[in-house]
Amino acid sequence: MSAGVVCQERATTDQPLTNDSIPFGYNATRSYPCPTGNYCPENTTLPVPCPVGTYNGFEYMGKFEDCLPCPVDHFQHQVGMAGCYSCGGDAQQPETGQPTCTCYGAGRDFQESDRNC
């Protein structure tokens, strides 16, 4: 089956765009587009989450390289995400593809949960 599509056991097609019609649907085709935040190599039965520090905002992605590193001054501390978070005005991240940010000033810790120092 094609990369970029999840095909479960007994899938009948690797072109799930037809899944929105009544005679098809996931229950009939047993396939669906690879969801955002993931990539799906050929013959995959489960999406593979993009790792920490990366994101993927599109469906139908089939390669690890489709997981893009978060840009400068952004971070992603979770797997399988469609975007990255901004470090905000109290922190920075001079490198791409990072799971956290660094607060300005000594003795301050960045909290990924609320994106504050």
pLDDT tens digits, 77-89:
999 999 999 999 9
Rg (CA), the chain: 18
- Predicted confidence (pLDDT) per residue in 7-61, tens digit: 767 655 556 665 555 555 655 666 778 899 999 999 888 899 999 999 999 998 9
pLDDT of amino acid 23: 58
**Contact between 29 and 7 (Cβ < 8 Å):** no
* pTM tops 0.85, yes or no: no
Cβ-contact 60, 34 below 8 angstroms: yes
Q: What is the pLDDT of residue 32?
A: 78
Q: How confident is the model at residue 71 (pLDDT cuts 50, 70, 90)?
A: very high
**What is the distance of C-alpha 85 from the center of its chain?**
13
* pLDDT value of residue 3: 81
Q: What is the pLDDT of residue 45?
A: 85
